Amino acid sequence: MTSLFASYRRGSLRLPNRVVMAPMSRVRATVDGLPTASMATYYAQRATAGLIVSEGVYPSLQGKSNPGGPGLHTDAQVVAWRPVTDAVHANGGRIFAQLMHAGRVGHPDVAGYQPVGPSAVAMRAEVFTGAEGLQPAPVPRALELAEIPGEAKVYADAARRAIDAGFDGVELHGANGYLISQFLSTGANQRTDAYGGSITGRIRFAVEAAAATADAIGADRVGIRLSPGGTVWDTVEEEVPELYGALFTELARLDLAYVHVLAGAAEDLLVALRKTWPNTFILNPGGQIAPTPTDRADGEHWLAQGADLIGYGRAYLANPDLVERLRTGLPLRESDKDTWYQGGDTGYLDYPSHQY
């Protein structure tokens, strides 16, 4: 059986092991979306991962979700990301930037803009706005038909900046109720034009965003994260096998580097999707929000089901040396949930590696 610790090579992906650090919001950037020296240390500490996928990075101010989130839409942000990518590379790692357009998962108090979405349908949820705390999600402004290609191009523009900032590639966040996911959702997407209604219409935005990004930086440096059947941020999806079967078929034509799938759907559907995908398949066993961190057994199970790489999220928070802990059977530390989003270095940089 394939080992988590075996090297992996396909196209431009040349990884020393099959452990992927999944994207996780940590909201440690400046108010202007600039990465900090602490962020460089945080990612460098975890550079033994086969691949790091960064926290969600907003590709435009319109697409910003979290206070304290980093961006990739200004020259200053590009410059500020370079010490982060340099630090990861200096420690022997590889890092992709996750491009996360929030769509309706936002608030004017955070971005200064009314959130946009495929339709004017508000989430049944509260969003964090910083000093004002949690507030009900506002009704987004429905994108005009003529605007939608421009929102797809936003990912491509940010991807060019990511490469300039030293990232090895980008991952489009098409999961967990953010903009791409909203177009897939029958709850958030009530359009009757070419971007809604039928399965063909609902997958169109995802395919156009991926195609534009692949054209911008090369398909072998572009991945996409998806959550078949997911429910995060009030996501409602129908005809899930047919929807994702059609989406995988169209994305496969683009020859992307990988798909990164969250295990929220039935295992047989995920295995079937794996069989239709010709390139690298990353499986995150934690699904939407796992009650406990994914362990070695979870990873080995999904490798046996055909996954190429395994995404670990929460386990990486308190275990910067996760690969070695999994390899040697060392216990995994639990992170302090109260520090996940509080800012500062406590609960961020102060989890040491195991000392022999």
Give the contacts of 130 (CB within 8 A, at least 6 positions apart): 67, 68, 109, 110
Pair of tokens at residue 232: 């995060």
Residue linked to tokens 């945080």: 42
Given 8, 58, 155, 178, which residue is catalytic?
178
Active site residue 258: no
Work out whether the CA dihedral 230, 271, 313, 42 comes out positive or negative: negative
Nearest to 202 by CA among 159, 173, 245: 245
> What is the Cβ-side half-sphere exposure of residue 122, based on CA atoms within 13 angstroms?
11
Task: Work out whether strand 126-128 and strand 134-136 pair parallel, antiparallel, or are unpaired.
Answer: antiparallel
Backbone angles phi, psi at 8, to 5 degrees: -140, 135
DSSP notation for 41-82 = HHHHHTTTSSEEEEEEEBSSGGG--STT--B-SSHHHHHHHH
Asked if 317 contacts 351 with a C-beta cutoff of 8 angstroms, the reply is yes
Asked if 170 contacts 161 with a C-beta cutoff of 8 angstroms, the reply is no
> Could you say which DSSP state residue 124 is in?
S
Helix or strand or coil: residue 118? coil
Tell me the catalytic residues: 178
